[in-house]
Amino acid sequence: MRQKIVAGNWKMNNDMAETEMFLVQLKKQVIPEGVSLMIAPAFTNLNHTYQSVKDHPVTVVAQNMHQSEKGAFTGEVSAAMLKSVGIKTVILGHSERRSIFNEDNDLLAEKVNTALKNEMTVIFCVGEELSHRETDNHFKVISEQLEEGLFHLSETNWKNIIIAYEPVWAIGTGETASPEQAQEMHAFIRKTIADAYSNTIAKNVSILYGGSVKPDNASEIFSQDDVDGGLIGGASLNVESFMKIANAFE
Ligand code: PEP
């Protein structure tokens, strides 16, 4: 079912002490009703974070996982390992994973399959680069990412899929898509899903916007019809700005 979600992607930030400081402050906050709050700390702090917020309405999310169930994959983390420390949601396909770690749509489709097989929820990121937008290829790129990464799924799988639209040119750059650009792409994503599956599935999938969301631009972006919340990088590292964003729904 479509939900309002604010998810913080901490990336490779916050060691144990910084994570603990954040959690102490977070647990003093009133979480706005009807908003699902999520945080994605580093692998090393997932267990501690999960234990710490177990009695609070906060979902702890992994930033990545490997596509194989187990085996000789030095340095990697499996779905079962995440689940064994209480983690049931994973971000897949973040643009940094796609560009720096060469994760392509085929690999991401495998990761999605493994996550769903392990009964996890996936926050699946899609987003075009600036050159795609400048050459008017942004819709094509997004539909390819959706088709190749997700459209092999069955209808029932979709209850465990959240989409994050994150234009690469807006991530960590301070530049954000205008509310109109965000709405246009979110509506396109919903229509693409409706055409591939059904209106019901498209209507029920939560689509988050990501890319330099801050306390002062969140409410305009979140007020768009097809924007169900945000995937927040930099501004999620500070409890005050993260909570301002969580309170930005009208
Ligand atoms: C992100 O990395 O998912 C992101 C949206 O980062 P930022 O908010 O810092 O642009």
Q: Is 223 helix (H, G, I), strand (E, B) or coil?
A: coil
> If pLDDT is split at 50, 70 and 90, which confidence band does 40 have?
very high
- From residue 90, how far is each of 11, 107, 122, 192 by CA, in Å? 13, 15, 5, 23
Active site residue 94: yes
Output the CA 233–ligand 1 centroid distance in Å. Answer: 3
Task: Give CA torsion, residues 242, 24, 121, 117, to 10 deg.
Answer: 150
User: With left for phi above 0 and alpha for psi between -120 and 50, is residue 175 left, alpha or beta?
Assistant: beta
Catalytic residue from among 96, 128, 166, 186: 166
Sketch out the chain's domains with CATH numbers: 4-247 (3.20.20.70)
Predicted confidence (pLDDT) per residue in 115-162, tens digit: 999 999 999 999 999 999 999 999 999 999 999 999 999 999 999 999
CA of 236 to the centre of ligand 1 (A): 9
Contact yes or no for 57/89 (Cβ under 8 A): no
Residue having the nearest C-alpha atom to atom 2 of ligand 1: 233
Which residue has the least CA distance to atom 1 on ligand 1? 233
Residues with CB under 6 A from ligand 1: 9, 166, 171-172, 210-213, 231-235
- How far, in Å, are 18, 55, 66, 124 from residue 21 at the CA level? 5, 17, 29, 29
